[in-house]
Amino acid sequence: MRAAVHVRHRSDRGKWGVHWRESKDGKRVKAARFFESEKEANDFAAEKRRELADGHTLTGWSEQWLKDHEPRRGDPDPDLRRSTFRGYSIAIRTHLQPRWGHLPLKDFTPQEVCAFYRYMQDEAKLSAKTAATYALPVKQMLDLAMAKNLIPSNPMKDGRTMFNAAYRVRGRSRRPKERAPFDVETAKKLLTVGRLRFPRDFDMIAVQMLSGIRIGEVVVLQPEDDKGDHLCIMRGLSDEGEIYNTKSGRGRVAPMNPALRAVLDRQHARWEADCKKFGKPPAPWLFYTYELERPGVASDRPSGNYIGKRNLIRNFNLVMKELGIEGPDWLTNHSLRHMFITELLSEGVEAHVVKSIAGHSDLSTTLKYAERRRTPAGTTDQFAGNFAGLVN
C-alpha cells in the first residue's frame, strides 16, 4: 500500500519535496510542494496527512487494505493464505463495515473498539476465540494507518485488555472453553458403525485416527508415501481445494502400527486391483473417487480424483448423529487428532517425540495435551491396539 503523502529529496534542485494525490474535478491528480529544509517538508507532510486522514473512512481504508493483501493465484509467498483472507474479509465486511464503516479513521476511538467487541459477542453471537480472531485484521489495518501517520495512535493497540474488559462487563469468562478429544470408547463405536455405512470413507477416517494426521493430509496421500514402516506426510489440502506443503510447511513422518498397516494394505490392494483391471494407475492418490454411472450411483471406473474433505466430514457427522454422540460444537472430526495426541502422551510417549509425529511447530502446543500423562514409556502400538479388531 503506497503512502498517501511522502517526502523526497530532490538532489537536482537541492530542495525537499512533499508529494501526494488529491481529488480535483472528480479525478485523482498528483500534487507537490517544495521546501528548503527537511524539517519544513516533514512538518508540512504531517499536516497534509492529518488533512487527508479526515477523508479516510473505515470502509475505504479497510477495502484498500483487503485489496492489497488478497492472495494472488500463482504467488509462491502470499501475505495471507486464502482461508485466512476469507475469514478476515468476513470480519471486516460483515461485522465492521455495516456499523462503523462510515466513521473517519480518527473517530474510531477505544470506546468504539469496546462497542465493536460487545457487538460481536452480544448480537453476532460469536465465541470469545472467534471474536478475538476477527479483531486481528482490524488491528493490523489500523497499525498500517498509524504507520502512515493517518491516525496518531492505534485504538486497538491494547486490544486484548479491552476485549477482556468487555467480557467482564457481562460477567463472562475471558477464556473460551477448552476443547477435549474423543475418548477411545466413543471413537471405537464411531469406527464400528461408520465402516458399515461408509466403508471407504471410514477407512480414511481410520487412517486419520490411527496416525494423528489432519484430514486434509489424508485425502492427498499418495501410494508412494507409504514406506512400509512409516508414512511420509508431505502435503495437505486447503478448504479451497489447493494442495500445499503441510500446515507447518515441513514434511514429517507418521510411525506405522499394526492397525494402521491393515487399513493401508487393504487400500493398496484396491488400488492395485483397479490398476490391473484398467491397465493404468487409477489415480495419483491412495484414496480416490469413482465415476458416476447415474446421479447418486458410482460405477467401478476410477475418476482419478481425490475424495473431498467435505464429503468425509458430512458422512462423519451423519454417523455421529445416528449414534447420538453429536456432543458440543467443538467435538468434530479434528477431535480425532486431539485424541491421538492426548492418548500418546497418556501412554507415556515423550513430548518431543509426539511433537514430531503431530507436526507441531512449537513444543508448547504439544504440552497442552500432556495433562493426562501417566506412565514413563510407551509407543503408538499401545494406542492402536485398542482398534486392532475393528479395522481388519
Whether residues 76 and 45 fall in one domain: no
pLDDT reported for residue 28 = 62
Mean pLDDT, to the nearest integer, of 47-73? Answer: 78
Whether residues 161 and 225 fall in one domain: no
Mean pLDDT of the chain: 79
Q: Examine the pLDDT at 69 and tell me if it is beyond 90.
A: no
Whether residues 264 and 344 fall in one domain: yes
pLDDT reported for residue 108 = 86
- Assigned domain for 32 exists: yes
Whether residues 13 and 61 fall in one domain: no
Whether residues 15 and 69 fall in one domain: no
Q: Kindly state the cell numbers that stand for 279.
A: 491397465
- Using pLDDT thresholds of 50, 70 and 90, give the confidence band for residue 375: very low
Q: Examine the pLDDT at 379 and tell me if it is beyond 80.
A: no
Instruction: Tell me which of 87-91, 274-278, 296-300, 355-359 is least confident.
Output: 296-300
pLDDT reported for residue 368 = 79
Distance (Å, rounded) from C-alpha 79 to C-alpha 65? 12
- Assigned domain for 340 exists: yes
Whether residues 49 and 59 fall in one domain: no
Q: Examine the pLDDT at 314 and tell me if it is beyond 80.
A: yes
Q: Examine the pLDDT at 382 and tell me if it is beyond 70.
A: no
- Assigned domain for 392 exists: no
Mean pLDDT, to the nearest integer, of 213-240? Answer: 88
- Assigned domain for 258 exists: yes
Domain boundary among 145, 177, 209: 177
* CATH assignment at residue 137: 1.10.150.130
Single out the residue of 129, 221, 226, 215 nearest to residue 179, CA to CA: 129
Whether residues 81 and 110 fall in one domain: yes
Task: Classify residue 158 by its DSSP letter.
Answer: T
Q: Examine the pLDDT at 134 and tell me if it is beyond 50.
A: yes
Whether residues 45 and 78 fall in one domain: no
- Using pLDDT thresholds of 50, 70 and 90, give the confidence band for residue 163: low
Whether residues 171 and 191 fall in one domain: no
Whether residues 20 and 110 fall in one domain: no
CA 201 to the chain's CA centroid:
23
Q: Examine the pLDDT at 276 and tell me if it is beyond 70.
A: yes
Q: Examine the pLDDT at 285 and tell me if it is beyond 90.
A: yes
- Using pLDDT thresholds of 50, 70 and 90, give the confidence band for residue 18: confident
- Assigned domain for 68 exists: yes
pLDDT reported for residue 177 = 45
End-to-end CA distance of the chain: 57
Number of domains in the chain: 3
Distance (Å, rounded) from C-alpha 345 to C-alpha 360? 14
* CATH assignment at residue 256: 1.10.443.10
Query: β-strands 236-237, 288-294: how paired?
Result: unpaired
Q: Kindly state the cell numbers that stand for 175.
A: 477464556
Mean pLDDT, to the nearest integer, of 311-315? Answer: 87
Q: Examine the pLDDT at 36 and tell me if it is beyond 60.
A: yes
Domain boundary among 162, 177, 192: 177
Whether residues 168 and 234 fall in one domain: no
- Assigned domain for 90 exists: yes
CA 293 to the chain's CA centroid:
36
- Using pLDDT thresholds of 50, 70 and 90, give the confidence band for residue 243: confident
Domain boundary among 177, 206, 241: 177
Residue type, 327: G
Taking CA atoms, 76 is separated from 182, 244, 352, in Å, by 37, 10, 31
- Domain residue limits at 30: 1-53
Q: What angle (nearest 5°) sits at the alpha carbon of residue 221, between those of residues 223 and 249?
A: 130
Whether residues 6 and 140 fall in one domain: no
- Assigned domain for 3 exists: yes
Q: What percent of the chain has pLDDT over 70?
A: 81
- Using pLDDT thresholds of 50, 70 and 90, give the confidence band for residue 286: very high
Q: Kindly state the cell numbers that stand for 146.
A: 498509524
Q: Which residue has the higher pLDDT, 345 or 168?
A: 345
